[in-house]
C-alpha cells in the first residue's frame, strides 16, 4: 500500500536527547571483577608498566620484558599468558607510549586487554597492521584503548567469535578506526560482537566498519570529522545500535553518518527486520543516513539530521526500511530521496514517517514498490512522490 497522508505537526522535543546507553556489561575474565571498574582495576594475570622511560612486563613474579618499547612490553605480557588456555586471562597496560604504523599488537583467543594510557602511532605501514589485531580468535576483549596518530587500523578483527570492545577513544590523523570482518574466510561469519562506546575522529576513511558479522550490539559511536562514514555496516545481520552521533562525517563524499551497504540486513533472500537503530544524529558531513546495494531489514527509531552536504537520507535499492519509527527532524539543505539503480531490484517496502522536514525536500524517483509516506510535516519543503 502506498499512502501520503496530509502533513500534520506532532510533538517532538527540540533537539533529540541522546539515548542512554543500554548495553550488556563487558564479560569478566575468570577471577576478575567486571570492566565497569576504572581502567586497570580488578585482578589481572600480566601487566606492562612504564616507569620513567623503561617498560617492564611481568606475569606474577616473572619479568618477561624490560626495555623502551611499549609494543614489545605489551606483546610480551600477552605472550606470557597460559598457552592453550580455554578461559580468559587479562593483561593490564599502565602508561603511554608509541608504536609504528607498520606494526601490531596481536591478541590470541581468550585474551582480555586493558590499556590505561595512550598509544601514539607513528610512521607509515601497509596491509592490515593495527594497534590491536586479532584474527581467527574466540573470546577476545579490549576493555579500554586510547589511540592517537595515523594507524592503518585502530582495531582490526577478522573471523572472530565473542569479540568485546569497551571504551575506545581514537583521536586520529588518518587511517580507519575499527574494522571487524570475516574476510579471511567469508563462508564463516564473525559472530557475537559487542561494542560499548567509541569516540573516533580524524580518520581518512570510516570510523567504525563491520563486514560479514552475525550478532552485533553497539552502544554509542561518536564520530567527528571522519573521512568517510561514522558507522558503516556491510553484510551484517542481527544488529542493534543505540546511537550514532556524527559531525562532519564524510564531508564532500557520498558517505554518511550511518551507512548500510552490500546486502546488509539480508538473511537468505529476504529482509526480515533484524537491524535496529535507536537514533542517528548528523551535522554537516556527507549524508545522514544511507542505505544502498540490496540492504534493508532495518528500523531507525529517531533521526536528527541537519546541514548535510549531500542527501540527509538516501534509500537506494533497499528493502523493508522504516525511517523515524518514533519521530525525528530533517533540516536542509540535504534532502530525503528514495531512488534505485537499474542493476538491482527496485526499492521496496520503505516507510518514511513522523518527520518534521525543514528547508528540504522528499523525492521518490523512480517509483518504489509499496512505499509509505505518512505523518510528515513539511516546513518550507516540497514533496514529490508517486
**Distance set, CA 130 to CA 159, 196, 212 (Å):** 15, 20, 19
Give pTM, 2 decimals. Answer: 0.90
Domains of the chain: 50-384 (2.160.20)
Provide mean pLDDT across the span 254-263.
98
Strand 161-172 with 89-94, pairing? unpaired
Mean pLDDT, the chain, as a whole number? 92
User: In the 8-state DSSP scheme, what is residue 382?
Assistant: E
Q: What residue spans of the chain are helical by DSSP H?
A: 70-79
Cα–Cα distance for residue pair 354/206, rounded to 1 Å: 29
Given a cut of 50, is residue 93 above it in pLDDT?
yes
Are the beta carbons of 369 and 341 closer than 8 angstroms?
no
Quote the pLDDT of residue 37. Answer: 82
DSSP per position, 202-268: --SS-SEEEESEEEEEEEEEEEES-SS-SEEEES-EEEEEEEEEEESTTTTSS-EEEEEESSTT-BT
Query: What pLDDT is recorded for position 108?
Result: 98
**Residue 187, Cβ neighbours under 10 Å: how many?**
6
The proportion of the chain whose per-residue pLDDT surpasses 90, expressed as a percent, equals 90
Whole-angstrom distance, CA of residue 240 vs CA of residue 214? 11
pLDDT (mean) for 146-165: 98
pLDDT score for 36: 67
Mean pLDDT of 245-273: 98
Higher-confidence position of 5 and 93: 93
Does pLDDT of 21 surpass 60? no
pLDDT over 70 for what percent of the chain? 91
Contact, 359 vs 379, CB < 8 A?
A: yes
Higher pLDDT pick, 207 / 30 = 207
pLDDT of residue 110: 98
Residue 44 has φ and ψ, to the nearest 5°, of: -155, 165
Give pLDDT, residue 349.
98
Window from 32-36, 314-318, 360-364, 370-374 with minimum mean pLDDT = 32-36
pLDDT at 127: 93
Predicted confidence (pLDDT) per residue in 71-82, tens digit: 999 999 999 999
Asked whether residue 24 carries a pLDDT value surpassing 50, the answer given is no
What are the pLDDT digits (tens) for 341-350?
999 999 999 9
pLDDT score recorded for residue 89 = 98
| Spatial contact of 264 and 289, defined as CB atoms under 8 Å apart | no
> Is the pLDDT assigned to residue 1 strictly greater than 90?
no
Amino acid at each position: 500500500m502506498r499512502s501520503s497522508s496530509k502533513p500534520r505537526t506532532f510533538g517532538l522535543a527540540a533537539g533529540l536527547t541522546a539515548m542512554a546507553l543500554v548495553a550488556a556489561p563487558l564479560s569478566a575474565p575468570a577471577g576478575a571483577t567486571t570492566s565497569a571498574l576504572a581502567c586497570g582495576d580488578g585482578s589481572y594475570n600480566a601487566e606492562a608498566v612504564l616507569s620513567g622511560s623503561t617498560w617492564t612486563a611481568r606475569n606474577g613474579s616473572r619479568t618477561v620484558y624490560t626495555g623502551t618499547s611499549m609494543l614489545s612490553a605489551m606483546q610480551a605480557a600477552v605472550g606470557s599468558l597460559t598457552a592453550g588456555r580455554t578461559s580468559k586471562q587479562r593483561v593490564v597496560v599502565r602508561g603511554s607510549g608509541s608504536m609504528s604504523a607498520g606494526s601490531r599488537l596481536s591478541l590470541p583467543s581468550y585474551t582480555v586487554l586493558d590499556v590505561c594510557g595512550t598509544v601514539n602511532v607513528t610512521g607509515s605501514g601497509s596491509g592490515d597492521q593495527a594497534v590491536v589485531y586479532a584474527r581467527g580468535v574466540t573470546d577476545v576483549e579490549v576493555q579500554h584503548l586510547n589511540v592517537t596518530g595515523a594507524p592503518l587500523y585502530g582495531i582490526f578483527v577478522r573471523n572472530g567469535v565473542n569479540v568485546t570492545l569497551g571504551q575506545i577513544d581514537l583521536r586520529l590523523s588518518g587511517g580507519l578506526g575499527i574494522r571487524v570482518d570475516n574476510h579471511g574466510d567469508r563462508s564463516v561469519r564473525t559472530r557475537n560482537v559487542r561494542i560499548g562506546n567509541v569516540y573516533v575522529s580524524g580518520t581518512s576513511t570510516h570510523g567504525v566498519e563491520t563486514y560479514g558479522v552475525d550478532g552485533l550490539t553497539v552502544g554509542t559511536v561518536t564520530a567527528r570529522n571522519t573521512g568517510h562514514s561514522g558507522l558503516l555496516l556491510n553484510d551484517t545481520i542481527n544488529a542493534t545500535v543505540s546511537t550514532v552521533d556524527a559531525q562532519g562525517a564524510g564531508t564532500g563524499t557520498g558517505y554518511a553518518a550511518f551507512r548500510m551497504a552490500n546486502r546488509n540486513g539480508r538473511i537468505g533472500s529476504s529482509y526480515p527486520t533484524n537491524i535496529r537503530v535507536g537514533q542517528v544524529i548528523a551535522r554537516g558531513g556527507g549524508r545522514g543516513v544511507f542505505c544502498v546495494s540490496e540492504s534493508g531489514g532495518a528500523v531507525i527509531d529517531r533521526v536528527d539530521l541537519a546541514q548535510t552536504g549531500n542527501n540527509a537520507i538516501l534509500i537506494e535499492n533497499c528493502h523493508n526500511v522504516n525511517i523515524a519509527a518514533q519521530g525525528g527532524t530533517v533540516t536542509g539543505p540535504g534532502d530525503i530521496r528514495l531512488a534505485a539503480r537499474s542493476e538491482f531490484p527496485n526499492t521496496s517496502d520503505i516507510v518514511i514517517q513522523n518527520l518534521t522536514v525543514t528547508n528540504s525536500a522528499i523525492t521518490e524517483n523512480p517509483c518504489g514498490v509499496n512505499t509509505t509516506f505518512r505523518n510528515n510535516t513539511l516546513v518550507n519543503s516540497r514533496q514529490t512522490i508517486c
